[in-house]
Amino acid sequence: MEEGKYNNSRKGEEIKRGQLMFLNIKLTHNQSPENYIQLFDQLLAQDPLVLSRGELVISLNSMHKDNILSNDGLPRLVYGKIATYNIIDRDAFYDREKKELVSLDLESNIVSNFKDIDFYFSPFAHRLAFFANQTITDNQVFKYFKEAFEKILGEGQVNVTFETSRDTIERIVKANYIESFYASISYSNRDEHSVFSALIDEKSRKDNIENLEITANPAKGETMTPQDDGMIDATTQIAKSNGYVIATIREGKNNKRVKINTSKHPMKEPIASKTKELRSQIYTTLISLFRPS
């Protein structure tokens, strides 16, 4: 369902419907809501440009802080817009009638093909939400925040990953058995895990491991069952918010063979809200999904 569809309620109020997608944004060090707010303050101050493709760039268009504060006096949300546009080469215009190149006298700050979308970030859940199926793609949103934060703090200081579809994660951990398994994960910013998951997570953090890759294949004539293999289950659970898994599984009554790449199955959460209540509802969604009580 495309973002931007509106219906009138009985009271004549506009209802915004769509699907939210989520980025998990994790500082490597000094993790606190205050430091996530500071990170976005730096994004606003430095306003880095990220090259998308050709002459198309992505940048911050606007940013605001919610005027509703937490008990700690911090804004519940940081929200705004990012934009894509083309940098114009003023000497590369073409006159079709004269069949010759011409130069245009345009100010240097004038760009073309401008598009923008909204984003909503919770410093308490360290997740960023945006609507799916827009003129700026989900991969462009990911590329912007990943590369913009690298420009600000340096490589390896911020980890950005998509939240994975929970149904896809369940298919792996509930498979009849697994033929091959590969995972690429980063530590989780102290999200909740099982005991085994927490051990992997804590080991990665203590050893300053930015990214951990795990490959598992069964011995000849044997199979791997996720329910009986704590490592596969734990790694997959971490990857739902902190990386990705590529696994060949057998599932269903007929042991159908399926290859799953979780990076191709991002999490999407339907939402319908009165426009004047949209930010509050998105905040509630972020907290309920990623900071369960």
230/196 same-domain check? yes
The count of domains in the chain is 2
Residue ranges with strand state E in the chain: 5-8, 14-27, 50-53, 56-65, 78-87, 93-95, 100-102, 111-122, 127-131, 158-162, 177-185, 212-216, 243-251, 256-261, 269-274
150/278 same-domain check? yes
219/281 same-domain check? no
241/271 same-domain check? no
The C-alpha angle 40, 115, 91, rounded to 5 degrees, equals 110
The closest of 123, 128, 42, 39 to 81, measured between CA atoms, is 128
171/239 same-domain check? yes
DSSP assignment letter at 203: H
Amino acid at 133: N
86/173 same-domain check? no
pLDDT at 2: 45
Do the Cβ atoms of 65 and 123 come closer than 8 Å?
no
Extract the tokens encoding 168. 């896809």
pLDDT at 138: 96
76/208 same-domain check? no
pTM of the model as a whole:
0.84
157/185 same-domain check? no
pLDDT along the chain (293 residues), means of 10: 50 82 92 94 96 89 92 92 84 72 71 90 96 94 97 92 95 92 77 52 57 82 72 87 93 94 96 92 95 64
pLDDT at 171: 94
149/285 same-domain check? yes
pLDDT at 201: 58
180/79 same-domain check? no
Beta bridge partner(s), residue 258: 249
The parent domain of residue 235 ranges over: 166-264
114/11 same-domain check? yes
The 3-class SS string of 142-196 reads HHHHHHHHHHHHCCCCEEEEECECHHHHHHHHCCCEEEEEEEEECCCCCCCCCHH
Give CA–CA dist 182/282, Å, rounded.
Answer: 33
248/279 same-domain check? no
